[in-house]
Amino acid sequence: MAIKLEDKKAIVAEVNEAAKAALSAVVADARGVTVGAMTGLRKEAREAGVYVRVVRNTLLRRAVEGTQYDVLSDVFKGPTLIAFSNEHPGAAARIFKEFAKGQDKFEIKAAAFEGQFIAANQIDALATLPTYDEAISQLMSVMQGATSKLARTLAAIRDQKEAAAA
């Protein structure tokens, strides 16, 4: 189906705006995935703050040109599904990774984070990044552990000095 030039420009502008605002991007091939499964993926992505779009490769190359996702241009071959994470860098990678477990024909091609190319076999590094809330809770548990150890140490020193004075 032919797309008019104005529509192509609108698609490129929309995807370019999404790319500029995104924290990370993941590219996949969704050939052979049912419409129902794709609808579920898109719904889950929307809820996680992930922009998902199927775009023609030539338009996608133009849209990411000059952005940190320009490194993905080489993987834009065949049907391309791109997802941009807006709220958390690992959101799109995590969603695609979980979706790929249930779909044999869904293939993750690559990802990009902070201008760095991430191959499909290394996507776990991006997918396992903790969310903001998880990172805060990990930090708080480390801080709590350190402060409680300090308090126990100070109490032990105090008890030792009291025992020596008595």
- The string of pLDDT tens digits covering residues 69-88 is 989 888 888 888 999 988 88
49: alpha, beta or left? (left if phi > 0; alpha if psi -120 to 50): left
| pTM confidence score | 0.73
Residue in this structure with the two tokens 């990802």, named with its chain if needed: 111
DSSP letters spanning 88-121: -TTHHHHHHHHHHHH-TT-EEEEEEETTEEEEGG
Q: Which two tokens stand for residue 32?
A: 């052979």
Q: Which two tokens stand for residue 42?
A: 């898109």
Q: Tens of pLDDT along 11-60?
A: 889 988 888 888 889 999 988 888 999 999 999 999 988 999 988 888 99
In angstroms, what CA-CA distances link 51 with 1, 57, 67, 134? 24, 17, 16, 22
Q: Tens of pLDDT along 85-127?
A: 888 888 888 898 889 888 888 888 988 888 888 888 877 766 6
| Cβ atoms < 10 Å from Cβ of 24 | 25
Q: What is the 3-state secondary structure (H, E, C) of 113-140?
A: ECCEEEEHHHCHHHHCCCCHHHHHHHHH
